[in-house]
Chains A and B, each alone.
Chain A
């Protein structure tokens, strides 16, 4: 028995050592689904920023599951952390847990989650503006006429808003026709879902679409690869998406990729901003209103295409 449990207990003791060695400000960070790059970028940036301040950090991954997310918030409250940052959480679903954090006197900041009366505020980009920018860029590139395909994702508030804004833009530009649309339903096996759905649409509409709109960059990568498999080259089809990131920028710059542009959401800056706000409010004692007066702290997002992509690529 010992030989099985000794390594486990040893690992626990090691973890314990790191947990009790300092009595600095302790931040709990929960990412809803670390397998999603954007969630991980927020959480990792928050963790790095907090460590830079000498804080202790507990980072948790809810694996995209609602009950697990709820349990992890509850566990952080029981641990008695000094502050909590939730990345891509859901205020209504976790209303009870957020309220419990508030009642326990634990300041809570959410990122890209939506407003909650129990949180200090939510750090957001204006998804409506982001959606409009991506949609208008796509339409501009195809001359405001012609058939397009869309890859949507309705389960996430942000991507759903982007899709609805696209619909508004299309309703005002009747010469652009959405000839095919695939909505990604699954969250865990989403890559396969996008690949099979868009593969069918691309084959079905071969030669009959000039642009593709994807609700986030991860989808665009899969579509980009599918288009390359079809023998298409840069300029044959305009592929536009939203989120940003080094892989996105590399593709925008690459002569082999169909990805033309993205709207870069500053996920790292959001994670870092959450930590900085926590510092000002929970550590330095500033009023929440000194950081932002409303339920949101909005950040800007840049349109990135070949004209400015070099400024975003990290060496």
Chain B
């Protein structure tokens, strides 16, 4: 083999490695999708595919919020509890006869305030985000139980409010449009605005960003606050979808949303939180949850397989990343 050939082969391998690192998880997700399309009964039906998208909406919105926080290199472990608290506030106000737009805005404001509180704790008081958001999560959980006494607010509420989540537009669930709007806005904000660039710079190299004149503390504040905003949006939609509000109603989304973001970090921009990756990660998790039911898999196998696939996906890209990092 000549030197030129060897160089060419090396470049080819590097390119392949880069391709796998960038698109490996997305391709694995695609493979799972194709598998379900062929083998899971009714998976390929239009109604079910819309069902999957609808079910992905809450997860996507919450995961996008977590992405904002992680983009600035901060963890937000409170978003699920903030979402539950905002849901309880919204549901409680509607059950109390208050107009739903006001209730929805209040719920949104509560979650946003929770996110802002996280931001202030991290940037002003210098509490590590892991601890600060765990504390906020506990407070939100306590407040949700205080407001409900553990008993869900339930009712057959204003159909206009319920249509926010149960309605359809051109045959497509409205929730899908909410999801796409949030994802598109988040993508635009992170990719096409100075704010997004500054948030990313803060997360990637805080000291350098600070020296370059970026208000890094403000970026972290914004990242954590936006996570709260996303929790508020998801809360209002959850209440509309279930016509009820209970403490811990968003509890299952904590790990799933984190998993979606981690999956997302293995594709498109490996090692970096990114909105597109998060969205695809959320879709993969939702496809798995739906496809395994349609396959008739036992419920415990579903949990196991979801865990295995998430770990495997992350491990694959992590190992590729590691190899890429150490190869010259």
Residues in A whose Cβ lies below 8 Å from that of B315: 4
Listed stretches B43-51, B188-196, B197-205, B207-215; interface member: B43-51
Instruction: Flag B223-248 by CB within 8 Å of A: 1 or 0 each.
Output: 00000000000000010011110111
Nearest residue in B to A155 (C-beta to C-beta)?
B150
| B308 CB–A CB distance under 8 Å | yes
**Is the Cβ of A80 less than 8 Å from the Cβ of B309?**
no
| A68 CB–B CB distance under 8 Å | yes
Within 8 A of A (CB), among B281-296: 289-290, 292-296
**Is the Cβ of A187 less than 8 Å from the Cβ of B293?**
no
When A78-B42, A93-B243 are in contact, do A16 and B154 touch as well, CB less than 8 Å?
no
**Is the Cβ of A15 less than 8 Å from the Cβ of B292?**
yes
Residues in B whose Cβ lies below 8 Å from that of A154: 149-151
Give, as a whole number of angstroms, the nearest-CB distance from A34 to chain B: 7
| A60 CB–B CB distance under 8 Å | yes
Residues in A whose Cβ lies below 8 Å from that of B166: 96
**Is the Cβ of A183 less than 8 Å from the Cβ of B149?**
yes
Main secondary structure of the interface of A (DSSP, over half): helix
**Is the Cβ of B145 less than 8 Å from the Cβ of A185?**
yes
Within 8 A of B (CB), among A116-155: 153-155
| B126 CB–A CB distance under 8 Å | no
**Is the Cβ of A65 less than 8 Å from the Cβ of B252?**
yes
When A16-B39, A154-B149 are in contact, do A66 and B244 touch as well, CB less than 8 Å?
yes
**Is the Cβ of A58 less than 8 Å from the Cβ of B24?**
no
Residues in A whose Cβ lies below 8 Å from that of B242: 66-67, 70, 93-94
When A4-B316, A96-B166, A185-B150 are in contact, do A16 and B51 touch as well, CB less than 8 Å?
no
Q: How far is the CA of A78 from the CA of B289 in the complex (A)?
A: 13
**Is the Cβ of B152 less than 8 Å from the Cβ of A93?**
yes
Partner of A184, one of B150, B152, B305: B150
Residues in B whose Cβ lies below 8 Å from that of A95: 156, 243
Residues in B whose Cβ lies below 8 Å from that of A230: none
Nearest residue in A to B38 (C-beta to C-beta)?
A16
Main secondary structure of the interface of B (DSSP, over half): helix
Q: How far is the CA of A188 from the CA of B312 in the complex (A)?
A: 28
**Is the Cβ of B20 less than 8 Å from the Cβ of A79?**
no
| A171 CB–B CB distance under 8 Å | no
| A283 CB–B CB distance under 8 Å | no
Q: How far is the CA of A68 from the CA of B250 in the complex (A)?
A: 9
Nearest residue in A to B252 (C-beta to C-beta)?
A65
**Is the Cβ of A67 less than 8 Å from the Cβ of B39?**
no
When A1-B28, A4-B315, A5-B31 are in contact, do A75 and B301 touch as well, CB less than 8 Å?
no
**Is the Cβ of B296 less than 8 Å from the Cβ of A79?**
yes
Residues in A whose Cβ lies below 8 Å from that of B156: 92, 95
| B323 CB–A CB distance under 8 Å | no
Q: How far is the CA of A15 from the CA of B302 in the complex (A)?
A: 10
Q: How far is the CA of A16 from the CA of B305 in the complex (A)?
A: 14
Interface size class for chain B?
35 or more
| A18 CB–B CB distance under 8 Å | yes
Q: How far is the CA of A8 from the CA of B29 in the complex (A)?
A: 12
Within 8 A of B (CB), among A42-68: 56, 58-61, 63, 65-68
A76, A78, A79, A186 interface centre (most CB from chain B within 10 Å): A78
Q: How far is the CA of A185 from the CA of B247 in the complex (A)?
A: 9
| A41 CB–B CB distance under 8 Å | no
Nearest residue in B to A11 (C-beta to C-beta)?
B305
**Is the Cβ of B297 less than 8 Å from the Cβ of A15?**
yes
Residues in A whose Cβ lies below 8 Å from that of B43: 78
Residues in B whose Cβ lies below 8 Å from that of A92: 154-156, 243-244
| B249 CB–A CB distance under 8 Å | yes
Residues in A whose Cβ lies below 8 Å from that of B244: 66, 90, 92-93
Q: How far is the CA of A93 from the CA of B315 in the complex (A)?
A: 39
Nearest residue in B to A15 (C-beta to C-beta)?
B297
| A20 CB–B CB distance under 8 Å | yes
Residues in B whose Cβ lies below 8 Å from that of A74: 51, 54-55
**Is the Cβ of A66 less than 8 Å from the Cβ of B42?**
no
When A184-B150, A185-B149 are in contact, do A79 and B42 touch as well, CB less than 8 Å?
yes
Instruction: Flag B291-321 by CB within 8 Å of A: 1 or 0 each.
Output: 0111111111110010011001101100000
| B58 CB–A CB distance under 8 Å | yes
Q: How far is the CA of A94 from the CA of B243 in the complex (A)?
A: 8
**Is the Cβ of B51 less than 8 Å from the Cβ of A12?**
no
A-to-B contact residues, CB < 8 Å: 1, 4-5, 7-9, 11-13, 15-16, 18-20, 34, 56, 58-61, 63, 65-68, 70-72, 74-76, 78-80, 90, 92-96, 153-155, 160, 183-188
Apart from A67-B242, A80-B41, list 13 A-B contacts with CB within 8 A: A12-B297, A19-B296, A19-B297, A78-B48, A79-B294, A79-B296, A90-B244, A92-B154, A92-B156, A95-B243, A184-B150, A186-B145, A186-B150
Q: 5 shortest A-B CB distances, which residue pairs?
A: A19-B296, A4-B312, A75-B293, A185-B150, A15-B297
Q: List 14 A-B residue pairs with CB atoms under 8 Å apart, sorted by A's residue number.
A: A5-B312, A8-B312, A15-B296, A61-B300, A66-B242, A74-B51, A74-B54, A78-B294, A79-B42, A80-B41, A90-B154, A96-B162, A184-B150, A186-B145
